[in-house]
Structure 1
């Protein structure tokens, strides 16, 4: 409600106060409408009528549009007089902008509530007529480049009650436009509108029994479902994404059956089989094999939704289901297989099975690079799926492919994604130089193909590597670029990762309170999007920051939360991470008990048990392992075992240097200096 008031008031304190006092109402409170009426009451009647028509165009409108809309009622000179009258009364503002060798003139209402009030004063019939006229005018003005204003056209068509198929067309264009510039929340809105009108259109066609037209709308519906699923994934809405992908499985299976009714496809839930595979036409065979790969990749995307929620069992089940789909159709190479092996590698990485993660991801890279070489040696026209994709799957002119479609046609960005994953694996194994090399390779590919979201993600990864290596200026630069892009595209899950890295920088700069704020922002988003991996990690990191501020009770709560997440999902890597954090916490408790030897030794005993349990886990990543070894060395020192502690710290120092862990290296050196002094 507060955000809604802020949006409506648009910085006007009087409006904000009146809106807050009146509470949620369908119409504006009379105190506001009276103020607005008084403001426009000084204008001539023709000027007020013109403004009422302009309000239908929105808070801001272009000169050519209002000229065209008002053209039937006013001559041009008279209209300019009315606009000038409104400007002089400070009801409108005028802005001139140079654009494409000409000047674009736009007008804006003094306040958004004024436009809203004027709009409501128009009769429903008048509003509908102006919306119809506005849609036609804008379509005519932007002929050949309608996608630039597709959202505005779709809005006017909806408000004028236009045909569902026309709304479908422009809403899809608007969604694609927003998706292309990485404004994913807006894209989702337009795709939802398009899906609603697609189903209305499809139902109408079904009643008319037009088979060919209905097939086109089924294909369009499948396209929209996939786009909605993609946007949901980007925005961290895992359950919603899974829902759309599951609908897509069913929709595509039915679409294939309807496309080739004589091929004997048997549709079973989201699966399909062809009982006459050896006798089908070449066209049906290509469609069949193509669809098997699409279905497999959809299963792979569903597995990603489970992965981000930390459900390893469902992630593995869906990955295996995708691979099974390919094997059933004799497919063991190619883009789809490479993509699933890449996703296998991500799952192994999540479980802390680093060698298997590396093997699967390297296999994926080899497959992608081999296919890319094959494709570069042939013409586009020879691609087996190009005609099928453009003729069957993409509404409009075929210029906006989905992620799965791009993969099956050979998306160079997929190679960048594999390099990024190799970078993450190398980081988990403590090979930071190799990690940085892979991440920079990924960044080069993403920048070459203008993959804004991927650039944002890999810049965050690069920032983290620089941070770990103690290269703080380079880290700050990469993270700031990543955050700017993440905020622009509305990628909250990525923003949370960046916040956590900002927290680490604040910790290194001895600003624990600032670090606490960053970590809590990161954890809040991770909790909202149900990203259990990061919830686990950042609660452990936050506990360390809280201990530095003497907030031991709050730190304990964070550590227990991290442990609960690890145990609930049976993830040994996460359990180990929490155990190392708990051991460090027990160490802090022991240090606070200098006057009570019994309690001090009890805390040290618990700390030693916890860290030994963590170090016994093979799934523990390199950084957590070295951090655990450092904790163990400190335990030995507090027990008075100076020689043992000295030996352990030397080993930690060597490992930290090898793995380029600057913060641990600095801390180990400091402790060694204390022992030697």
Structure 2
């Protein structure tokens, strides 16, 4: 009698292996495929084979935070299948005839599943005695033994191995020479299967060509097809892998010097490097992306000559746009100085080539607008963005329709060809600037226009980005359901395409939304997830922003020590990056903390009144009053410093002014508090905010109550 047992879920496997680092748990989850025996045996092997070899890179306190790439590389290169698992697999295989075992061993090079047509063609190529009936007999034998399963019907029959570890076991038993031969044969068969639509099977073909040791240029061809297909589907992590293969194989073909390469090969190398740079930057690998773009410039400049002035100007514009890409890798880590220097290099290139107007200048103005926006200079930011928009529109009008929207080309060449998506990017920036400046009507109008452009051209990454910005506008307007829907659409796309920087932003925004909805524990969890990703990619700006919001969440939960630690850290980062808007935001939160400390003293004084006699009470009251006075003065000093800064976001400035209202109320300056509340209420209403006017009215009620006007309060 046999009792069927369902495979364990990933959550159950994780619970079983909770003592291991997360990356190793994920590896075992994939390999064990729900089998608890395999999971436990793999865990023992990981602990004995992997843990000692990693002692030089992690200690017992940091094992759980091991770099994911490092951990997975170590596992892949050092883990040997445990003898206990190998014995179980051998026992099952021993029930099969030698011919069936050999067939399945050959099929293992195809991975976890294969079709009848492919395995038939492979067998015919490596075994002269193979025929359709013989192969079917062997497959039926394997099915009856429970080693493989069969799905589909007619010409669409697929075979699936019983377990992924069986595939690994069979593959490991093949000699290196046989593996290479089988991989080459598999590549040949798949090329025939996908003839006429090779891009659909290019990913499988290139992996077999690499494993089979094929000629570099043949590998490059299929790696390019696979990379471009993934890139055009916005699958950036997958595209990155294929472009890496293409670059490595092309480098191997060219050799140590570019002098060995033809002009076409150098152009091809520059193409792969630029695409690879974009894929790595999207995932937050800014330093590597920078080096890749710098290498693109070096490859393009090697023995370059021009036949016409027009060609010279065109190539100069490409170079200028590459400098802008390098600038972005600095900007994304909060280094505005280096970013500005790169943009200036791009401008210099354009001036030397006597380029006037056009998409390259528009892109540099676009980037300059970002710098002004980050500094809090919203008027100049809006001016530069509007200038960039005009330049892009003029450039589009001059382009021939046939050159617009070039599909299989680099971002820089798409820009010069007249990519209409750039109009959406400019509208997005204009919307963000308007949002920060408090003009939510213009923000929504611009962002929704941008979304229509991105949806028209199916630019998934841009759709995710603009949805995140729309969510932020709705959040500021306290339209929480719309904000939640926008954030959810954004994170769904960001996670699918591997956009780590955007995932960090959306996680943090979901935390702010949860806090505004009163779900403080949920808010803390979301914001911490945002911080973790921001730290992973070294995004100083969002590390600072999310620590500010984390501090607010800690305060609301009464976790004062944690709140103080987070806000001090956020302020130090904002100062190091010279980010005025968030320096001011952090100072306002610090001012609020001083104010709350004074209110806590009021509560402690109430307890003192109940516990001490009159003689001691007077002395303690005087001490408490002195401390309270100092906290309030410190709060006022910090708040006024913050509000004196140029470039605060409108919401931040109103928040600071409302904090002053509360401060004046606590100090007993009721007339001053009332006037400040009236002015701030009007400003908040003009900015179409919801929750801040409500807070202003609540404070006004407290002021009236303090004046004895209970009915009006």
TM-score under structure 2 length normalisation: 0.86
Offset at 1:570?
2.4
Rate the CA distance shift 1:306–1:186 in 2: closer, same or farther, 3 A. Answer: same
SS of residue matched to 1:71: helix
Q: Distance in 2 between matches of 1:332 and 1:642?
A: 60
| Equivalent of 1:56 in 106, 109, 112 | 109
SS of 2:355 mapped into structure 1? coil
Query: In 1, distance between residues paired with 2:392 and 2:257?
Result: 42
Q: CA deviation at 1:656?
A: 1.5
User: What CA distance in whole angstroms lies between the structure 1 residues aligned with 2:110 and 2:414?
Assistant: 37
Which aligned pairs between 1:17-56 and structure 2 lie closer than 5 A? Answer: 17-23=40-46, 24=50, 25-56=78-109
Instruction: Specify which of 216, 224, 240 is matched with residue 272 of structure 2.
Output: 224
1:510 aligns with 2:518: yes
Cα distance, 1:103 vs. partner? 5.6
| Contact 2:591/2:635, CA 8 A, preserved across alignment | yes
Tell me the residue number matched to 1:345: 369
Summarize the Cα distance change of 1:134–1:401 in structure 2 as closer, same or farther, 3 Å threshold. Answer: same
One of 588, 597, 609 as aligned partner of 2:637: 609
Which residue of the partner structure matches residue 200 of structure 1? 252
**8 and 600 in structure 1: CA distance in 2 versus 1, 3 angstrom threshold:** same
Map 1:323-342; keep pairs closer than 5 Å.
323-342=347-366
Structure 2 stretches of 5 or more lacking a match? 1-23, 51-77, 606-623, 705-712
User: Matched residues in 1 for 2:139 and 2:257: separation?
Assistant: 46
In structure 1, the residue matched to 2:67 is none
Match of 1:322 among 346, 362, 374: 346
* CA displacement 1:377-422 (0-9 Å, x = unmatched): x4537x9xx9xxxxxxxxxxx8511111100100010000000000
Aligned residue in 2 for 1:85: 141
Q: Is the 8 A contact 2:591 2:638 kept in 1?
A: yes
Farther off after superposition, 421-430 or 285-294: 285-294
Q: Deviations over 1:545-597 (max 9, x none)?
A: 10111100110011111111122122322211211111122122121110222
User: Contact 1:205/1:214 (CA < 8 Å) preserved in 2?
Assistant: no
Q: CA deviation at 1:493?
A: 0.9
1:250 CA displacement: 1.1
1:463 lines up with 2:471 in the alignment = yes
Residues 138-182 of structure 1 show CA distances to partners (whole Å, capped at 9, x for unaligned) of 001111111111111111111111101111111121111111111
Count of matched residue pairs? 629
Root-mean-square deviation (CA), in Å? 1.8
The 5-angstrom pairing of residues 178-577 of structure 1 reads 178-203=230-255, 214-254=262-302, 257-258=303-304, 260=305, 281-282=307-308, 285-375=309-399, 378=400, 380=402, 399-577=407-585
Quote the offset at 1:124 in angstroms. Answer: 1.8
Q: Which residue of 2 aligns with 1:643?
A: 671
Q: Does the residue aligned with 2:255 lie in a helix, a strand or coil?
A: helix
Change (3 A) 1:343 1:509: same
Specify the alignment match of 2:211 in structure 1.
159
Measure, in 2, the Cα distance between the counterparts of 1:88 and 1:286.
Answer: 70
1:94 Cα deviation after fit: 2.4
Equivalent residues of 2:210, 2:219 under 8 A apart: yes
Determine the C-alpha separation between the residues in 2 that align with 1:93 and 1:117.
Answer: 18
CA contact (8 A) 1:500 1:538 kept: yes
Mapped contact 2:378–2:433 kept (Cα < 8 A): yes
Q: Would the aligned equivalents of 2:108 and 2:168 in 1 still touch at CA under 8 Å?
A: yes
Q: Which runs of 5+ in 1 are unaligned?
A: 264-280, 387-397
Conserved? CA contact 1:202–1:218, under 8 Å: no
CA distance in 1, matches of 2:541, 2:161: 48
Q: What is the aligned partner in structure 1 of residue 698 from structure 2?
A: 670
How far, CA to CA, are the matches of 1:643 and 1:587 in structure 2?
19
Match of 1:4, SS?
helix
